[in-house]
């Protein structure tokens, strides 16, 4: 036995200051309750309920047989970086060469790498809210300062150019956002991105971290537009993407960036000391995903669009829920503040954390509270589940909130 006293206070300050990921925290709780035998429906983690397409799995098996067992180059295999550069050109009209690409262990890792590489202690990162829970904590780990700019429900949760302008200071280093967005499903149009870029253009030292992980799950007629194609700022845009969402490959853990070479080199240097090149077999599978047929991705996206309609329709029948219509990704994000201050006689709902806990303990439906996303009036509901589970989960939510007076 160690002579040391076990104590949280012995953990480094940076870990004690860090919030646990609320998406993963809620998923863990749901798994624990299910293991105890409860009939939990988990609409917490944002994860496709589809399997990875067969041709991608086959490529991974072939890679094992072909002997891809050793360390890969830190920034990824050369042919994969080429395939990513080709994908960026073909689908996004971005002109990156393989030297501008770094492959990492999920888009999460890519984002964290870029923030570590660009942000000095005390520098500011403007985050367009609602935002994905890990953004603010990644900034904290880099000792940066988060400046949250909140898109209103009335503006489809999107930030206006005037709001962005007001948030920028002499210490701003990065503006970061996801479109399509997690948790709201909102999609910034080309016109809206051009208007935001016009503000950024006026501030020479500001970078844009564009998280496009939900690119392929976009229900708008206009489709996806990459802010990195805007000529005036293109050298200052770091585009992050990955295969988790579009190809149902969450567990394979592959993400990547396209960025100016000096930024990509910085990320490679960091990665070379912390994780090395990412998993060799997953990289070979990703090569097959990016160079392969897109029909499976399109089919999945159609299913998400159909479920979006189903879920939005059902949520609108719940008294007091204010529901926006997501234009992409696989989440619904109703404003549930109507229930704050209400009680079922035993439990009082003071905020969205309380409501998420109440739904889990009362009717075994796991959602994620909006507070970690910078939207404390809302609740995130993943629509990446079967119709049957979605219908039953929303019925259970309705029954539970009806008891709150």
In the list ligand PMP, ligand GLU, none, the entry touching 45 (Cβ below 5 to 8 angstroms by class) is ligand GLU
Which residue from 112, 128, 178, 208 is in contact with ligand PMP, where contact means CB under 6 A? 178
Positions in 212-271 near ligand PMP (CB under 6 A):
213, 242, 244, 250, 255
Question: Does residue 24 touch ligand GLU according to CB under 6 A?
Answer: yes
Which residue from 108, 173, 216, 284 is in contact with ligand PMP, where contact means CB under 6 A? 108
Report whether 159 contacts 151 (CB < 8 A). yes
In the list ligand PMP, ligand GLU, none, the entry touching 281 (Cβ below 5 to 8 angstroms by class) is none
* Residue 166, burial from CB neighbour count under 10 angstroms (0-12, 13-18, 19+): exposed
In the list ligand GLU, ligand PMP, none, the entry touching 24 (Cβ below 5 to 8 angstroms by class) is ligand GLU
Listed ranges 106-114, 156-164, 166-174, 258-266: which one lies at the site for ligand PMP (CB under 6 A): 106-114
Which residue from 182, 184, 186, 301 is in contact with ligand PMP, where contact means CB under 6 A? 182
C-alpha span between 102 and 368 (Å, rounded): 31
Beta bridge partners of 58: none
In the list ligand GLU, ligand PMP, none, the entry touching 33 (Cβ below 5 to 8 angstroms by class) is none
Q: Provide φ and ψ at 16, rounded to 5°.
A: -65, -25
Site map 383..402 versus ligand PMP, x via CB under 6 A: --------------------
Beta bridge partners of 319: none
Question: Does residue 110 touch ligand GLU according to CB under 6 A?
Answer: no
Question: Does residue 328 touch ligand PMP according to CB under 6 A?
Answer: no
C-alpha span between 86 and 101 (Å, rounded): 11
Residue with smallest beta-carbon separation from ligand PMP = 106
Instruction: State how far Cα 332 lies from the chain centre.
Output: 14
Positions in 181-220 near ligand GLU (CB under 6 A):
182
Count, residues near ligand PMP per rule CB under 6 A: 13
Which residue from 106, 185, 370, 374 is in contact with ligand PMP, where contact means CB under 6 A? 106
Question: Does residue 52 touch ligand GLU according to CB under 6 A?
Answer: no
Q: Residue 238, SS3?
A: strand
C-alpha span between 268 and 99 (Å, rounded): 10
Whether residue 180 has a cis bond before it, omega within 30° of 0: yes
Residue 25: partners with Cβ closer than 8 Å, 6 or more residues away: none
Residue 295: partners with Cβ closer than 8 Å, 6 or more residues away: none
Question: Does residue 42 touch ligand GLU according to CB under 6 A?
Answer: no
Site map 115..154 versus ligand PMP, x via CB under 6 A: -----------------x----------------------
| Burial profile 115-150: b = 16 or more Cβ within 10 angstroms, e = fewer | bbbbbeeebbbbbbbbbbbbbbbbbbbbebbbbbbb
Q: What angle do CA 177, 220, 154 make, to 5 degrees?
A: 60
C-alpha span between 383 and 369 (Å, rounded): 15
Question: Does residue 43 touch ligand PMP according to CB under 6 A?
Answer: no
Which residue's CB is nearer to ligand PMP, number 311 or number 400?
A: 311
Nearest Cα to Cα of residue 146 among 122, 163, 116: 122
Name the site residues for ligand GLU (rule: CB under 6 A): 21, 23-24, 45-47, 108, 132-134, 182
Name the site residues for ligand PMP (rule: CB under 6 A): 46, 106-108, 132, 178, 182, 211, 213, 242, 244, 250, 255
């Amino acid at each position: 036995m160690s002579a040391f006293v076990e104590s949280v206070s012995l953990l480094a300050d940076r870990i004690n200051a860090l919030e646990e990921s609320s998406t993963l925290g809620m998923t863990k709780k749901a798994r624990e309750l299910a293991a105890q035998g409860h009939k939990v429906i988990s609409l917490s983690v944002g994860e496709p309920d589809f399997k990875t397409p067969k041709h991608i799995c086959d490529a991974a098996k072939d890679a094992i047989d072909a002997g891809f067992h050793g360390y890969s180059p830190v920034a990824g295999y050369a042919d994969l970086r080429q395939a990513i550069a080709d994908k960026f050109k073909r689908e996004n009209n971005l002109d990156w060469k393989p030297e501008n690409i770094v492959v990492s262990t999920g888009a999460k890792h890519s984002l964290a790498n870029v923030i570590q590489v660009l942000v000095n202690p005390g520098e500011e990162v403007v985050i367009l809210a609602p935002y994905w829970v890990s953004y603010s904590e990644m900034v904290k780990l880099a000792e940066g300062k988060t400046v949250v700019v909140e898109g209103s429900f009335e503006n489809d949760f999107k930030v206006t150019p005037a709001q962005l302008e007001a948030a920028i200071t002499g210490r701003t280093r990065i503006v970061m956002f996801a479109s399509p967005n997690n948790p709201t499903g909102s999609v910034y149009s080309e016109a809206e991105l051009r208007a935001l870029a016009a503000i950024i253009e006026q501030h020479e030292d500001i970078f844009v971290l564009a998280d496009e992980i939900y690119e392929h799950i976009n229900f708008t007629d206009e489709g996806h537009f990459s802010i990195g194609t805007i000529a005036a700022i293109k050298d200052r845009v770091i585009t992050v993407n990955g295969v988790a969402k579009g190809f149902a490959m969450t567990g394979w853990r592959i993400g990547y960036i396209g960025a100016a070479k000096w930024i990509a080199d910085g990320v490679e240097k960091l990665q070379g000391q912390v994780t090395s090149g990412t998993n060799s077999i997953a990289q070979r599978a990703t090569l097959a995903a990016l160079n392969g047929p897109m029909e499976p991705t399109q089919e999945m996206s159609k299913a998400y669009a159909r479920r979006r309609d189903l879920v939005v329709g059902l949520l609108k029948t719940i008294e007091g829920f204010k529901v926006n219509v997501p234009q992409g990704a696989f989440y619904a994000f109703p404003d549930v503040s109507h229930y704050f201050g209400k009680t079922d006689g035993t439990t009082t709902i003071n905020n969205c954390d309380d409501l998420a806990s109440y739904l889990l303990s009362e009717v075994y439906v796991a959602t994620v509270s909006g507070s970690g996303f910078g939207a404390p009036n809302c609740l995130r509901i993943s629509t990446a589940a079967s119709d049957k589970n979605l219908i039953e989960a929303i019925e259970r939510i309705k029954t539970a909130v009806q008891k709150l007076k």
